[in-house]
Amino acid sequence: MSNRVETPVSNLASQVFLSITLLTFLAASSAPTPLYHLYQETLQFSAATLTLIFGVYALSLLAALLTVGSLSDHLGRRPVIFAALLLDIGAMLLFISADSAVLLIAARALQGFATGMATSVLGASLLDNDNRKGPLINSIAPLLGMACGGLGSGLLVEFAPHPMQLVYWIMFGLLVVQAAYVWRLPETVSAQPGALASLRPTLHVPPQARKALWIALPVDVAVWAMGGFYLSLAPSLVRAATGSTSNLIGGVLVAVLTLSGALAIFTQRNRSAQKVLPLGAVLLAIGVSLILLAVHTASLPLFLFATLVAGSGFGSGFLGALRSVVPLALPHERAGLMSAFYALSYLAFCLPALLAGNLCRSFGLIATTDGYGVMLIGLSLGALLMLLWRRPARDLVA
């Protein structure tokens, strides 16, 4: 039995608002990336501390997905979206006042929890409004958001005053407006019992979606592990490999990676997951190989081209994984499945990057990059072989 609440309000305005709000959360999440080297220079902390600041965001996001990820299935979408907005507003205020690594860690932890809460409920809300276009928006919006946050922050750092505060004030203003508007949305699910029980840490994957998830997971892990490395250490890597001192380069790298991923998603939106997943694995392996070549030839143009290829692999793999799994959930299972999917993705996003940051202390950034790249290439090719082996069984949905 569906628990959808009928409403005379058009879904179009809701869909636009939900998409913009998801964009805002992800833009805020990538906004610190171009600032990391400034934080390092100003606050004098190591690459390991840098990846801790990055990693605590993903771990906190994971904690939110495991606890409050399915809360909106019980309380309704609007109150959970509102709570996530309030938490992210608090995180922006912490960033604005951050004058130590401790405050940066606190800001990222709060932001991670808010984003984890938001991605599951906003993803479920987008599916409520349009089950056909919802997976496409859920695929594109995070990448476009990260592109806007990374590039916009990089431009502000390079050309605007108050580089370590201005971007957060802009995010603060957007989030406040969204928090005021959210109550005008129609509620798309009715209240269900079990809200407190849903807070127990769990990964809720409906039985009918489990096989598809296991098949898509290796590619999803590979693309998110690459994304985590890029958003934490790529700006420092380019500076170390090429000698570039531009404050804009970090934001440009994030934008190239995520915009190429979003473009790949859009151009392949009508292809089946069975075709898109292997393509993602191939492009990721090629892109990472080119990144390693760019590092050792100190070529910034090649670095940007390699990022374009790897980003296309990111988008293809992410879309294929999402389209393989999410449409299999019933309406009252959507938030729980979205939280489980993102929880697994963000484990791959943060844990390898944290390990790489610690290895940098012993082996240096370049050597660590070589090892990380070889691991990603091996994982991508292994996932490709498994997909090709499983393809005749037609386990992936179109």
> What pLDDT sits at residue 258?
87
Mean pLDDT by 10 residues, the chain (398 residues): 45 86 93 83 78 81 82 83 96 93 93 91 83 76 85 87 91 96 83 72 77 85 87 79 77 86 88 87 95 92 94 91 80 74 82 81 88 92 85 46
Residues 6+ away with beta carbon under 8 Å from 309: 260, 283, 286, 287, 290
Domain membership of residue 381 as a residue range: 11-186+202-393
**Domains identified in the chain, total number:** 1
Is residue 142 included in any domain, yes or no?
yes
Classify the phi-psi angles of 10: left when phi > 0, otherwise alpha if psi is within -120 to 50, otherwise beta.
Answer: beta
> What pLDDT sits at residue 25?
95
> What pLDDT sits at residue 395?
44
Give the domain CATH number at 53. Answer: 1.20.1250.20
The structure tokens listed for 48 are: 């390991």
Is residue 194 included in any domain, yes or no?
no
Count of all residues that appear for the chain in the document: 398
Is residue 213 included in any domain, yes or no?
yes
Count Cα atoms within 13 angstroms, Cβ side, for 104.
Answer: 24
> What pLDDT sits at residue 358?
79
Is residue 119 included in any domain, yes or no?
yes
Is residue 214 included in any domain, yes or no?
yes
Residues 6+ away with beta carbon under 8 Å from 393: none
In contact, 80 and 156? CB cutoff 8 Å:
no
Is residue 356 included in any domain, yes or no?
yes
How far is residue 269's CA from residue 281's CA, in Å, rounded to a whole number? 17
> What pLDDT sits at residue 10?
62
Exposed (0-12), middle (13-18) or buried (19+): which is 206, by Cβ within 10 Å?
middle
> What pLDDT sits at residue 391?
60
Vertex 23: Cα angle to 22 and 26 (nearest 5): 85
> What pLDDT sits at residue 398?
40
Is residue 398 included in any domain, yes or no?
no
